[in-house]
Amino acid sequence: MSDVNNAVDIKDSDKNKKLKTPEQIEKEIEKELKKLKRYKVASEKSFLYSLQNTKRLADLIKEHGGLIRYTPNKGISIDKISYEKMPEPIQTQFKYGLGKLEKYFSILYEADCQARAFNAYLYLLEMQYQKHIILNSPTKYAKVTLTEWRNCVSQVMALDSVHLDRIEKYLIDSGKLIYCWKRGTKCLISSMEKNGENLNLKEDYRISFNEWMNTNRIVYLEMDVLKLAFPCR
């Protein structure tokens, strides 16, 4: 008998439930999206705050003579002699901040790779300009193919295809490099060219990329939150 009563009660309660209107559903969705947005903003602020604190720790270690090295896929290490010369409180901070320091230096490494890859495009564009000048061809037709750029970055920076794909995606998604086509071949163009900026291209034909990176033609990509610019010299 009690089971029958329960069944009746459930049925009656279902009847009492009101169906939500499309407007109510839309408001609830909007409310949840706002919650997610606030959570994302709070998470980003927390991450940036942590990153800035870690930078201060890295700077403090450097000020006291600590020599930190970062190796991709291996993490950080510190020169033993320089570590032993640091005050004990700094040594303790290094030990407890090791995980955050590894993350910090991995971010710096990635930013440096992105900046070098971007400059590799400018280097190749300069080489293309020089070829067109030598051939007495209009420089406006100078283009860097995607394959040419990927081969250059892979060789000079010794990156695997997965890392190179990630850097390419960042430079494209951020708008620093843009895909374009020339006679059916996928090429690249920089945001600087698209915006009509004058590029600092010289006539040093046959200069190597590493030599080019030591000139005043490189373009720095800034990381405002850390007040740093890449590539590092």
**Contact between 55 and 61 (Cβ < 8 Å):** no
DSSP string, 101-140: HHHHHHHHHHHHHHHHHHHHHHHHHHHHHHHHHHTT--GG
Measured between alpha carbons, how far is 191 from 53 in angstroms, rounded to an integer? 32
Nearest to 122 by CA among 222, 221, 218, 223: 218
Q: Does 8 have pLDDT greater than 50?
A: no
For range 187-216, the mean pLDDT? 82
Measured between alpha carbons, how far is 221 from 159 in angstroms, rounded to an integer? 20
pLDDT score recorded for residue 167: 96
How do beta strands 185-190 and 75-78 pair?
unpaired
Residue for token pair 């960042």? 170
Q: Does 124 have pLDDT greater than 90?
A: yes
SS3 233: coil
At 40, which helix (H) or strand (E)? helix 22-63
Measured between alpha carbons, how far is 233 from 225 in angstroms, rounded to an integer? 19
Q: Does 45 have pLDDT greater than 90?
A: no
Q: Does 31 have pLDDT greater than 80?
A: no
Measured between alpha carbons, how far is 187 from 202 in angstroms, rounded to an integer? 22
Strand partners, 185: 182
pLDDT score recorded for residue 104: 92
Q: Does 21 have pLDDT greater than 80?
A: no
Average pLDDT over the chain reads 84
For range 25-53, the mean pLDDT? 69
CA distances from 15 to 8, 22, 23 (A): 11, 19, 21
Residue for token pair 């100078």? 142
| Digit-coded pLDDT (tens) for 134-177 | 888 888 888 999 999 999 999 999 999 999 999 999 999 999 99
Q: Does 11 have pLDDT greater than 60?
A: no
CA atoms within 13 A on the CB side of 43: 6
Strand partners, 48: none
SS3 222: strand
Residue for token pair 């403090």? 60
Measured between alpha carbons, how far is 43 from 21 in angstroms, rounded to an integer? 33
